[in-house]
Amino acid sequence: SFKDVEIMKISSVFIFMMMPLLAVADGMPPVEFVLSTPKKAYEIGEQVPVSLCIRSRNASYMFEYKEVMSLKHDGHFSVVNPKGVKLQRQSDCGKYAPVREWMAVTANGKLLRNAELTKIYADLRDNAKPHALTMAGNYQVVFSAEIEIRDMKEPDKKWSGRLISAPLDIQIVDVAQIPSEEDLKALFAEGGDKALQLRALMKIQYSKVPLPEKELTFLTALYMQSDNATKTQIIRILGTKISGDSFKSIVKILTVEKDPLVRSEAIAVLERYRTSESRALLVNECIARRERSYIAAIVVLGEIGDRSCLDVLRNIASSDDDKWVRERALESIRRIEQRKE
């Protein structure tokens, strides 16, 4: 269902303010948006290309078309995930300038736009709202725009209003097989394609396949010589492939990582490791008061900390220069004290 998507009627539909026009069967507009994709199913992390066409419903009529985008969501490919929640866009690469000049529309259709949905709905940063195609299941895609249409033979006969495509169903399936160590070595060879590298790491992160020791060892070594985007993706893998060896990799990362944002990512995944060792790392991060990352540690302690963590949090709550940080420490203290141990 299209919960949260602003659609008044679905099925290539419209909210049309009628101007002088030709008779149209069933009150439907004389043109329709049509979405298509080459395959019915894509693996998590795979590119998802979508094409948008506009075509005349009646081969006996010839029309011209242009767009007048007046609403914030116009010109977007909107995506609803399997839970019925509209995804939050992470990129403007799917936002197009409207077609301002009159353009002929034929019964065979005219290609308007191509898009790659995983670029528009990219898994860049953790976000409170769903924002990427990383859940297996059926997704629905629509496109909408405020448009004007006129008859090419009788230009005074026009239509104007919002046109919405019929939903395009796209199936996202679980990753069947993760890249092997040999595959990863070839992929991350000098001069390798950055986008393909990140997609391979995303496949590992979201797969349900356990991460073998050889691949884990390779990724840990790769981390030490990678840029921040690759480092972040590797950390996320360690946060989903929970094991004693993965925890050891996080310890190695925290020993060497100095970038505050990347370090914060590593601290955040410790929430998945509810052990005394992970709590000790978080407490040490708070004691060191490292830029940004100690704030992440404060928050995570609120989730997995025990009473042994209270002293360091109380110290921050009473002495930190930043009021917001003090409030986060107080919140974590409250959460720990409310838990039954």
List, for residues 304-324, the tens digit of each pLDDT value: 999 999 999 999 999 999 999
Measured between alpha carbons, how far is 80 from 89 in angstroms, rounded to an integer? 11
CA distances from 306 to 289, 300, 334 (A): 20, 11, 11
Residue 167's pLDDT is what? 95
Which residue type, as a one-letter code, is found at position 97?
A
Half-sphere exposure of 230 (CA within 13 A, CB side): 19
Find the mean pLDDT for residues 14-22.
41
Q: Are 35 and 51 in contact (CB under 8 A)?
A: yes
Find the mean pLDDT for residues 254-275.
94
Is the model's pLDDT at 66 over the cut of 90? no
The sign of the dihedral angle between the CA atoms of 56, 9, 158, 114 is: negative
Residue 124's pLDDT is what? 53
Both tokens of residue 12? 């290539």
Measured between alpha carbons, how far is 194 from 168 in angstroms, rounded to an integer? 29
Task: Give buried/exposed letters for 160-191 (b at 16+ CB in 10 A, else e).
Answer: bbbbbbbbbebebeebeebbeeeebeeebeee
Q: Angle at Cα 227 formed by Cα 226 and Cα 233, nearest 5°?
A: 85
User: Residues of the chain with pLDDT > 70: what percent?
Assistant: 84
Find the mean pLDDT for residues 195-201.
88
Q: Angle at Cα 137 formed by Cα 135 and Cα 142, nearest 5°?
A: 95
Residue 225's pLDDT is what? 93
Residue 113's pLDDT is what? 85
Is the model's pLDDT at 192 over the cut of 70? yes
- Residue 168's beta-bridge partner residues? 141
User: Residues of the chain with pLDDT > 90: what percent?
Assistant: 50
Helix (H, G, I), strand (E, B) or coil at 182: helix
What is the three-state SS of 170-228?
Answer: EEEECCCCCCCHHHHHHHCCCCCCHHHHHHHHHHHHHCCCCCCHHHHHHHHHHHCCCCH
Q: Which residues contact 140 (CB under 8 A, 6 or more apart)?
A: 2, 79, 80, 167, 168, 169, 170
Q: Which residues contact 316 (CB under 8 A, 6 or more apart)?
A: 286, 289, 294, 298, 325, 326, 329
pTM, two decimals, is 0.73
User: Among 10-19, 126-135, 210-219, whose mean pLDDT is lowest?
Assistant: 10-19
Is the model's pLDDT at 150 over the cut of 70? yes
Confidence band, pLDDT 50/70/90 cuts, at residue 174? very high
Is the model's pLDDT at 71 over the cut of 90? no
Higher per-residue pLDDT: 124 or 278: 278
Higher per-residue pLDDT: 85 or 70: 85
Residue 6's pLDDT is what? 38
Both tokens of residue 255? 């020993």
Is the model's pLDDT at 114 over the cut of 70? yes
Measured between alpha carbons, how far is 194 from 52 in angstroms, rounded to an integer? 27
Is the model's pLDDT at 10 over the cut of 80? no
- Residue 114's beta-bridge partner residues? 51
Tell me the pLDDT of the chain averaged across its residues.
84
Residue 2's pLDDT is what? 37
Confidence band, pLDDT 50/70/90 cuts, at residue 96? low
Measured between alpha carbons, how far is 172 from 124 in angstroms, rounded to an integer? 18
Higher per-residue pLDDT: 208 or 122: 208
Residue 22's pLDDT is what? 44
Pick left, alpha or beta for residue 130 (phi over 0 → left; psi -120 to 50 → alpha; otherwise beta): beta
